[in-house]
């Protein structure tokens, strides 16, 4: 008895799994299922690790990365550092379907998304603004800088290169079940 079809996803994001499954049951392709499953997480924000309003960067902006791969054709569509567009996996799907490229990034990816009909909007929320304010009030701790001055383990930037070879902070301590790729 075949266990297929199969939907498997990282972390206990049940609604995403369910959405992918329902896509398959209703006649969708594997690529459709991946797109719809991930899109649910972008809407629900899946513990703050997916979609808008989570993981602000050093200047408080939320940016999104997404990718979709078709194993039949080895076609890939992806976006990195996507700004001001909520449905990153949808944009990745458009890259896959409507271009011969693999990865679009930054503002140019946003422009592409807008041309594909996606709405440009602010991705910050009260929560992400609060997270960023709290981080800034703690002298920008933790951060991902090293070998710069002023000492990034104590002070905010802007930073310049320094001659020190010491690791100020271990990145291992900053990435966990609530903060990951």
Ordered DSSP codes for 18-41: HHHHHHHHTT--HHHHHHHHHHHH
Torsion of CA 7, 8, 10, 14, to 10 degrees: 50
**Interface with other proteins, residue 172, by CB under 8 A:** yes
**Interface with other proteins, residue 21, by CB under 8 A:** yes
Name the segment binding other proteins (CB under 8 A); options: 112-120, 141-149, 160-168.
141-149
Least Å distance, CB 114 to other proteins, is: 19
Q: Give just the sign of the alpha carbon dihedral 18, 21, 26, 31.
A: positive
In eight-state DSSP terms, residue 176 is: B
Instruction: Indicate which single residue of 84, 89, 113, 118 sits in contact with other proteins (rule: CB under 8 A).
Output: 89
Instruction: Indicate which single residue of 101, 106, 119, 121 sits in contact with other proteins (rule: CB under 8 A).
Output: 106
Name the segment binding other proteins (CB under 8 A); options: 12-20, 113-121, 160-168.
12-20
Name the segment binding other proteins (CB under 8 A); options: 49-57, 113-121, 161-169.
49-57
**Residue 73: both structure tokens together:** 């054709």
């Amino acid at each position: 008895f075949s266990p297929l079809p199969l939907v498997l996803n990282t972390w206990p994001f049940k609604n995403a799994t369910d959405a992918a499954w329902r896509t398959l049951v209703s006649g969708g392709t594997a690529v459709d299922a991946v797109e719809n499953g991930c899109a649910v997480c972008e809407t629900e924000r899946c513990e703050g690790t997916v979609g808008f309003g989570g993981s602000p960067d050093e200047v408080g902006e939320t940016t999104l990365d997404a990718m979709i791969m078709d194993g039949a054709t080895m076609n890939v569509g992806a976006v990195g550092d996507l700004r001001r567009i909520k449905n990153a996996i949808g944009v990745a799907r458009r890259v896959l379907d409507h271009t011969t490229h693999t990865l679009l990034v930054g503002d140019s990816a946003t422009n592409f998304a807008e041309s594909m009909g996606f709405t440009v909007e602010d991705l910050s929320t009260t929560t992400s603004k609060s997270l960023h304010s709290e981080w800034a009030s703690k002298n920008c701790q933790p951060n991902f800088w090293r070998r710069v001055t002023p000492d990034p383990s104590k002070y905010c930037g802007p930073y310049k290169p320094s001659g020190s070879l010491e690791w100020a902070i271990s990145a291992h301590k900053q990435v966990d079940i609530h903060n990951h790729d």
